Amino acid sequence: MSQQAARPHLPHLPSAEGRPAALFFGGLLAALLFAVLFPWFPGGQILDVGATVERDILAPRGANYESEILTAQLQEERASEVAEVLVLDTDVRDQQLAQLDAILAEIDDLRGDTGLSASARETAVRAIPGTELSQRAAATIVASDFAQWRTLSDEARNALGSTLAGAIGEDEVASARSRAAGLLSPALEAAQIIALRELIDPLIVPTLTIDSERTERLRDEARQNTPPVLVDFSRGEIVVEEGTVLSEADVEALDELELRSTGIDPQQIAATAVIALLSGAALVGYLTVARPASVRGPRRVVLLGLLLIVPAATAKFALPLVAPDLDRHFLAHALPLAAGPIAAAVLLDVGVAILLSAILAGIVVFTSAYAPGLDAGGAASQLETTRLALGTIAGSLAGVFVAANADRLQRFLAAGIAAAVASGLAVLPIWLIDSDAGLVDLVWLVGAVSASGLLSALIGVGAFVLLSRPFGIITRVELMELAQLSQPLLRRLQDEAPGTFQHSILVGNLAERAADRIGADPLLARVGAYYHDIGKLTAPGFFIENTGPDENPHEGLDPLQSTRVIMQHVTGGVELARKSGLPEVLIQFIEQHHGKRLVSFFYRRASEVDPEIDPDLFRYPGPRPQSREAALVMLADSCEAATRASGDRSAERIRTIVSDTFRERIEEGEFDESPISLRDLGVVRETYVSTLTAVFHPRVEYPDPTPRELEARGRSGATPRSTNGASGAADAEDSADIRIEPPERRRAVTVDEERPSRELSEDDS
């Protein structure tokens, strides 16, 4: 506690001794972000030769280059256009004539073999290698006499030699065979001409051969004279159309434009590391300087990291699936990126949520710049990146401001609607300056931001439900539910300890109003006050507010036994609260509302018997109040009990009681561990004085009814009553009801005024 306004302390991240812990958290968060944003994207298409492109690939920037692949293809085309150099091979004629002579000699041998029949000789002639004789031609050759065969042999040699003496190309063989047939003597019979043609046609082959050396030299000259192929792409131009099977030239173009991943890029890794370090440093800097009370303890720090890592991972892995937006469907704006900041606003605080919004917007811009294919839309991709940045930051901030201090689930829906509207308005100026904008774009934009807002609201509710208890957070929605007087514990308190219930309601009203005045949490203070005395359910009859005027259950107990019974309402209350599933933040009110104070009434009685008795035997277990709200409940508890126990409830007396109570708690050091300041305590003191003065206001004593009133009552059928003051008291109660006060406060006054004061006050119990 300090003279100046105390600042909520952050035990786990203080400015000095906690700096190593802050640096550790920042390093760990940066490492996790680096792992999430690492330039690796699963499920991406492998753009190798032979792969089919799934969507149009556009040039992210202008580029021109000499294509080695296309130049080589053009050079081969030019070289293939160079005709082969052919030269006459004179050896071909001699080789073919020699082969003909060998065939004729073998035919001679077969013709002279008298041991074979004519048909056998014909078959043997047809089987000679290098011949393709028909049955008729073989029969003609075998049936010829010696002179005829000599003539046929000479004709064959002359025709073949003359034909092969000229130049015959590959495509001229057929015409050469026709020329050879024309060289045969016309005196020959038709069957003999056919036989000779079948004999020499297979031997007529090209006599021109390729001069490989000269041909290759000419083709090399053609290649060298072919200019290189220049490829030029403008930004946004289609490089490869959808459905194209990638060729080597396509892959070369993708490589030149850096659209094909060929492994890990060190520059991208370095950029990712810088972004991760900056994000971690921003969070650590905020926590170290601002030290928000909502991020206390390791669980809250883990939650903060989770609320950043999950949206960052969503942006990193989802954006490549919906961008670039070549079809102008704006699906990237349907991503529920505002859910993280909305959840942070509800589970932590607005400052943290705003910082998360800014960091997340930066991560979205970075992702849209380095993810493969996201910049393939040319100028459209630039506009899309701008739209994403503006939509993310505007939607997140609007959702944060609406969801902050949400006390009912409907606020999440309102936050989602606000996020959608803000995101839509933020991207509208970019749509207006987009040269490709069309009215149908508005339909897609509205649908996308609406989907984003709805999903953000649903995810925000889910995060609120699933993460609040595991991370030790009680939300305003849960506090509102626990503030309902129909809650089981509060219902039991009404039925089994009605005096304690009325006391708790009034303490709650006092603490709530004071918390609102000093900037603490009014709802938390009120709900904490409602439950601070539930431990009295273990033995309600031992507490004065729940007993009759003539009852005193402590008469048969010694002071130490009574003290144990009284202190049991703290330890037993904690046990009952945990068994009933109350949040830990409310259990702290039960533990701390008496701090380490003495049960002074019974200690003083025990001291009368034994002045040396140990006062620690009569001291509450504590701890002292750790928050401003707990301190307010301690003070409200003591002030209300002391005022109720006092016989004099005048405004002056109430001020004295409250001032003495405040001074006593300060002197006892009960606020040494609370961030409440003396300035706060001054405001709270005046608030309690005014509120208690209003609660315990004086009544006007009414005179007895007049005879006419009594006569009127008799005419109405009512039995006239004697003028003994009872009617006046009833009228006084009616006049009290005219005062504009909360129903709980009126009930408390009615019950308390009918109960005589007792020696043992609530503050001692």
Residue 626 near residue 571 (C-beta atoms within 8 A):
no
Report residue 14's pLDDT band, with 50, 70 and 90 as the boundaries.
very low
Name the least confident of 120-124, 638-642, 695-699, 714-718: 714-718
Query: What's the pLDDT tens digit per position in 626-685?
Result: 999 999 999 999 999 899 888 888 899 999 999 999 999 999 999 999 999 999 999 999
199-202 contacts, C-beta under 8 A, 24 or more apart:
199/100, 199/103, 199/131, 199/133, 199/137, 199/141, 199/156, 200/100, 200/156, 200/159, 200/160, 200/163, 201/132, 201/177, 202/130, 202/131, 202/132
Say which residue, 519 or 732, is predicted with more confidence: 519
Say which residue, 326 or 413, is predicted with more confidence: 413
How far apart are alpha carbons 96 and 177 in whole angstroms? Answer: 14
Q: Which of the following CATH numbers is that of domain 490-697+739-753: 3.40.30, 1.10.8, 1.10.3210, 1.20.1740?
A: 1.10.3210
Report residue 556's pLDDT band, with 50, 70 and 90 as the boundaries.
low
Residue 600 near residue 653 (C-beta atoms within 8 A):
no
Q: What pLDDT does 730 receive?
A: 35
Burial of 484 (0-12, 13-18, 19+ CB in 10 A): exposed
Residue 448 near residue 330 (C-beta atoms within 8 A):
yes
Neighbours of 324 (CB within 10 A): 26
Going by C-beta distance under 8 Å and a sequence separation of 6 or more, which residues neighbour residue 744? 502, 505, 506, 509
Name the least confident of 332-336, 548-552, 558-562, 736-740: 736-740
pLDDT at 729 over 50: no
Q: What pLDDT does 723 receive?
A: 45
Of 511, 758, 548, 559, give the one whose Cα is nearest residue 647.
758
Q: What pLDDT does 437 receive?
A: 72
Query: What's the pLDDT tens digit per position in 602-611?
Result: 888 888 888 8
472: left (phi over 0), alpha (psi -120 to 50) or beta: left
Q: What pLDDT does 274 receive?
A: 92
Residue 590 near residue 570 (C-beta atoms within 8 A):
yes
Residue 614 near residue 645 (C-beta atoms within 8 A):
no
Residue 422 near residue 395 (C-beta atoms within 8 A):
yes
Q: What are phi and psi of 209, to 5 degrees?
A: -115, 155
Type and span of the H or E element at 635: helix 628-645
Report residue 238's pLDDT band, with 50, 70 and 90 as the boundaries.
confident
Q: What pLDDT does 549 receive?
A: 60
Going by C-beta distance under 8 Å and a sequence separation of 6 or more, which residues neighbour residue 453? 338, 395, 399, 416, 417, 418, 419, 420, 421, 423
CA distances from 543 to 474, 569, 754 (A): 30, 10, 17
In the numeric block, the tokens 């539930």 are attached to 534
How large is the average pLDDT for residues 119-148? 87
CATH 1.10.3210 segments of the chain: 490-697+739-753
Report residue 338's pLDDT band, with 50, 70 and 90 as the boundaries.
very high
What integer best gives the mean pLDDT of the chain?
81
pLDDT at 373 over 60: no
How far apart are alpha carbons 40 and 47 in whole angstroms? Answer: 15
Report residue 529's pLDDT band, with 50, 70 and 90 as the boundaries.
very high
Q: For the residues of 384-432, what is the DSSP string, one character each?
A: HHHHHHHHHHHHHHHHHHHHTT--STHHHHHHHHHHHHHHHHHHHHHHH
pLDDT at 196 over 80: yes
pLDDT at 237 over 90: no
Say which residue, 639 or 761, is predicted with more confidence: 639
pLDDT at 133 over 80: yes
How large is the average pLDDT for residues 77-92? 84
Q: Is the Cα dihedral 526, 532, 537, 541 positive or negative?
A: negative
Q: What pLDDT does 452 receive?
A: 92
Say which residue, 114 or 444, is predicted with more confidence: 444
Q: What are phi and psi of 739, to 5 degrees?
A: -65, 140
What token pair was written down for 522? 């009014």
The pTM score is 0.61
Q: What pLDDT does 653 receive?
A: 93
How large is the average pLDDT for residues 310-335? 81
How far apart are alpha carbons 543 and 529 in whole angstroms? Answer: 17
Provide the Cα torsion 426, 432, 435, 437; round to 10°: 80
Report residue 260's pLDDT band, with 50, 70 and 90 as the boundaries.
confident
Q: What pLDDT does 629 receive?
A: 94
pLDDT at 735 over 90: no
Residues above pLDDT 90, as percent of the chain: 27
What token pair was written down for 671? 């606020």
Residues above pLDDT 70, as percent of the chain: 85
Give the DSSP letter of residue 619: B
Report residue 42's pLDDT band, with 50, 70 and 90 as the boundaries.
low
Q: What is the largest CA-CA distance in the chain?
A: 180
Report residue 548's pLDDT band, with 50, 70 and 90 as the boundaries.
low
487: left (phi over 0), alpha (psi -120 to 50) or beta: beta
What's the length of the chain? 765
Q: What are phi and psi of 64, to 5 degrees?
A: -145, 145
Q: What pLDDT does 665 receive?
A: 93
Of 572, 476, 477, 560, give the one whose Cα is nearest residue 532.
572
Give the DSSP letter of residue 515: H
pLDDT at 356 over 80: yes
How large is the average pLDDT for residues 267-276? 88
Burial of 437 (0-12, 13-18, 19+ CB in 10 A): middle
Q: What pLDDT does 261 receive?
A: 63
Say which residue, 639 or 349, is predicted with more confidence: 639
Query: What's the pLDDT tens digit per position in 613-628?
Result: 888 888 888 899 999 9
How large is the average pLDDT for residues 145-154? 88
Type and span of the H or E element at 136: helix 135-143
Q: What pLDDT does 11 receive?
A: 38
Query: What 3-state DSSP class applies to 302?
Result: helix
Residue 112 near residue 95 (C-beta atoms within 8 A):
no
Distance of CA 623 to the CA centre of its chain: 40
Q: What pLDDT does 758 receive?
A: 35
pLDDT at 740 over 60: no
In the numeric block, the tokens 């004099």 are attached to 648
Residue 414 near residue 354 (C-beta atoms within 8 A):
no
Antiparallel, parallel or unpaired: β 230-233 and 57-58:
unpaired
Tell me the CB-side half-sphere exposure of residue 747, using CA atoms within 13 A: 14
Residue 688 near residue 635 (C-beta atoms within 8 A):
yes
Residue 634 near residue 595 (C-beta atoms within 8 A):
yes
Name the least confident of 16-30, 94-108, 496-510: 16-30
Report residue 383's pLDDT band, with 50, 70 and 90 as the boundaries.
confident
How far apart are alpha carbons 226 and 211 in whole angstroms? Answer: 23
Neighbours of 617 (CB within 10 A): 16
Going by C-beta distance under 8 Å and a sequence separation of 6 or more, which residues neighbour residue 102? 130
How large is the average pLDDT for residues 694-705? 77
Query: What 3-state DSSP class applies to 312?
Result: helix
pLDDT at 60 over 80: no
Highest mean pLDDT out of 42-56, 371-385, 574-588: 574-588
pLDDT at 750 over 70: no
What token pair was written down for 486? 């129909």
Q: Is the Cα dihedral 191, 197, 200, 203 positive or negative?
A: negative
How far apart are alpha carbons 521 and 498 in whole angstroms? Answer: 27
Name the least confident of 11-20, 308-317, 701-710, 720-729: 720-729
Q: What pLDDT does 718 receive?
A: 52
Residue 231, beta-bridge partner list: 65
In SS3 terms, 65-122 reads as EECHHHHHHHHHHHHHCCCCCEEECCHHHHHHHHHHHHHHHHHHHHHHCCCCCHHHHH
In the numeric block, the tokens 């015959």 are attached to 168
Type and span of the H or E element at 232: strand 230-233
- Single-letter amino acid, residue 705: P
Report residue 63's pLDDT band, with 50, 70 and 90 as the boundaries.
confident
